[in-house]
Structure formats: structure tokens, C-alpha cells
């Protein structure tokens, strides 16, 4: 009996499994390893050694709880994650993990339950990625944005505020309160057309300015604006369209400077220059 054809599928499967094992063992950017049903480490790849600091000889046979912070172990987090994966088939989360030397790193972790054809739990596959750098970058960005927000809120010589895409005020700094007379509580949620003269509002100027900024990215002009008490001031106005990474309009940033005094001084200088000197 020629059993070559019978052996070929089995040989192909063996080679496929061997190739997969070799691939996983060589991956360096991800810790990929197996646990038995009780959470004991049974395999260990090069990425796991690089990220966690243990060699295969040091960690195989030890419990997965070795990688968790003392606080997490005390709360029973390792077994809870395995139970979720056992129940749901998969568990994913982020959190602090511990290297062999005791240092911590922020990890993206996926735990997958592994079952045989009969549905019996064989163990768990675990993939861990060190995302500390990403987390630090996100925190740095958050702090940068917070510092920027604090800086803007403290600026007194410029009204700096945000509008939503329809022109409703969403932020308000101290300079805006000083120049326009409204507190944040009074103006946030109202349309920015409140700041225009009745003649300008009637002509549709507020919406026209937003449309130009939306189309061109930016709009700038000088003109009369109105304070809360009804008084007018000469303003230098810049409106900038704010878009996200996909180009979707998020709203508008608006910066206003009170140039009334400068305009008044320029008017006086002009009048003086028109006076003829005595002969």
C-alpha cells in the first residue's frame, strides 16, 4: 500500500507548525508566550526575554503573576484576567507590568484562551507589547496641552477663544473677559454674533467670516466690535479653522486685539499732518 499520500498532509501540518514556532520565537517587539490552564509559563519567545528580562530557563515553570505589580497581585488581577479569557475567549487591557529587575513598564496585553477540538481548555496564549514610550508621549502631549490651556487662560491683552463649527463659543480666556466684558459663564454656549454691531449682524458678516476661514483656513480683518455694555471698540480679528487629522472641521480659534487707542492716535496724527504750517 502506497502511504505517501496519507503522510503528506501530516507532514505539511508538521512543517507549518514548525514554521509558526520559529516565527514566534524570533519576534522581538512582542512578548509571545503560552500558559497552562493554571497560569504557569510553558513557552517563551525572544521578544518576551527582551521586554521582561527573563530567559526561557528562568521563567518557564513559574506563574504569570511574576509579571504583575504587588498591588495587582494582591487584588487577584492575574487570575481574574485568565478567568475572563476563559469565559469570553479573550481579554485585552493596558496596565503596569514588572520586569525581572523590578522596573515597571506600561503594557498592552492580550490573553487568548486556547482550546482543543473538543472544547477542552489547553491553556492561554499571551501577547504583551511595551507601550511605555507611547504612553509617555501621550502624557507629554496632555501636559503640553494643559500648559497651553493655562497659558491661554492667563493672557490678558488678547481675547483668545474657541467656537464650534456653527459659531457657538466653547472656551473663553481672561483677555476675552477683559476686552469684551463677558465672563465665561455668561458667554459660553452663545453665538459669537453677540460681538458684532447690529448693522454687521444684519448683513450676515459673522457667518461670512466663518465661511471664509473654513474655505481659506484663515480670516483676518479690522473693524468695530461690541462689548457686553454696548460700547464699541476697534478690533484686529483673526479667525483660524481648526481641523483634525482627517481634515474634518472641529471649529474655529479666534484671537482679538483692541486697537481703539492706536486707531485714535493714528487719527490725531493724520489731522495734525493736514494742518498747514504758518508761513
As a whole number, the mean pLDDT across the chain is 87
Q: Looking at residue 10, what is its pLDDT?
A: 64
Q: Between residues 202 and 265, which one has the greater pLDDT? A: 202
pLDDT at position 186 is 96
User: Are 105 and 208 within one domain?
Assistant: no
Across the range 126-149, mean pLDDT stands at 80
What's the confidence (pLDDT) of residue 279? 42
* Residue 98 half-sphere exposure toward CB, CA atoms < 13 A: 14
Q: Which of 126, 119, 32, 52 is nearest to 84 (CA)?
A: 126
If asked whether residues 43 and 130 sit together in one domain, one would say yes
Percent of the chain surpassing pLDDT 70: 85
pLDDT of residue 33: 93
Query: Which residues constitute the domain of residue 38?
Result: 16-135
Residue carrying the nine cell digits 487570575: 79
Q: How far apart are CA 163 and CA 172, in angstroms?
A: 10
Pair 236, 256: CB distance under 8 Å: yes
pLDDT tens digits for 50-85?
Answer: 999 999 999 999 999 999 999 999 999 999 999 999
> 113 with 68, same domain?
yes
User: Based on the domain organization, do 161 and 261 belong to the same domain?
Assistant: yes
Find all residues with CB under 8 Å of 152, minimum gap 6, and list them: 160, 173
Same domain for 63 and 130, yes or no, is: yes
- Dihedral Cα 180, 184, 186, 187, nearest 10 deg: 70
Q: Are residues 215 and 184 in the same domain?
A: yes
Q: Which residues contact 178 (CB under 8 A, 6 or more apart)?
A: 156, 159
Cα dihedral 111/112/116/117 (nearest 10): 170
In this predicted structure, what is the pLDDT of residue 52?
A: 95
Q: Are strands 218-226 and 232-243 parallel, antiparallel or unpaired?
A: antiparallel
Whether residue 274 lies inside any domain: the answer is no
> Where is the domain boundary, 89, 107, 135?
135
What pLDDT shows up at residue 8? Answer: 60
> Residue 89 has what pLDDT?
93
For 156-209, write each residue's pLDDT tens digit. Answer: 889 999 999 999 999 999 999 999 999 999 999 999 999 999 999 999 999 999
Considering the domain architecture, whether residues 184 and 79 belong to the same structural domain is answered as: no
CATH of the domain at 95: 3.30.450.20
Single out the residue in 135, 166, 190 at which a domain terminates. 135
- Looking at the fold, whether 120 and 160 belong to one and the same domain comes out as no
Q: What is the DSSP string of 129-153?
A: EE-HHHHHHHHHHHHHHHHHHHHHH
Amino acid at each position: 500500500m502506497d502511504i505517501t499520500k496519507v503522510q503528506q498532509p501530516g507532514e505539511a501540518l508538521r512543517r507549518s507548525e514548525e514554521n509558526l514556532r520559529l516565527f514566534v520565537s524570533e519576534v522581538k517587539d512582542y512578548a509571545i508566550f503560552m500558559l497552562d490552564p493554571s497560569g504557569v509559563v510553558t513557552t517563551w519567545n525572544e521578544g518576551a526575554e527582551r521586554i521582561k528580562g527573563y530567559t526561557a530557563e528562568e521563567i518557564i515553570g513559574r506563574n504569570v503573576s511574576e509579571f504583575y505589580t504587588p498591588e495587582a497581585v494582591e487584588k487577584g488581577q492575574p487570575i481574574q484576567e485568565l478567568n475572563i479569557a476563559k469565559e469570553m475567549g479573550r481579554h485585552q487591557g493596558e496596565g503596569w507590568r514588572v520586569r525581572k529587575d523590578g522596573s515597571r513598564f506600561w503594557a498592552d496585553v492580550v490573553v487568548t484562551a486556547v482550546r482543543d477540538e473538543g472544547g477542552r481548555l489547553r491553556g492561554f496564549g499571551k501577547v504583551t507589547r511595551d507601550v511605555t514610550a507611547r504612553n509617555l508621549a501621550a502624557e507629554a502631549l496632555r501636559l503640553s496641552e494643559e500648559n497651553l490651556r493655562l497659558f491661554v487662560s492667563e493672557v490678558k491683552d488678547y481675547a483668545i477663544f474657541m467656537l464650534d463649527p456653527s459659531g457657538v463659543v466653547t472656551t473663553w480666556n481672561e483677555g476675552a473677559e477683559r476686552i469684551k466684558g463677558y465672563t465665561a459663564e455668561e458667554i459660553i454656549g452663545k453665538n459669537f454674533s453677540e460681538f458684532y454691531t447690529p448693522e454687521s449682524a444684519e448683513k450676515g458678516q459673522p457667518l461670512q467670516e466663518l465661511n471664509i476661514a473654513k474655505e481659506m483656513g484663515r480670516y483676518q480683518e479690522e473693524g468695530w466690535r461690541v462689548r457686553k455694555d454696548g460700547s464699541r471698540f476697534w478690533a484686529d480679528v483673526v479667525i483660524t479653522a481648526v481641523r483634525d487629522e482627517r481634515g474634518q472641521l472641529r471649529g474655529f480659534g479666534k484671537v482679538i486685539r483692541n486697537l481703539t487707542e492706536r486707531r485714535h492716535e493714528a487719527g490725531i496724527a493724520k489731522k495734525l499732518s493736514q494742518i498747514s504750517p504758518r508761513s
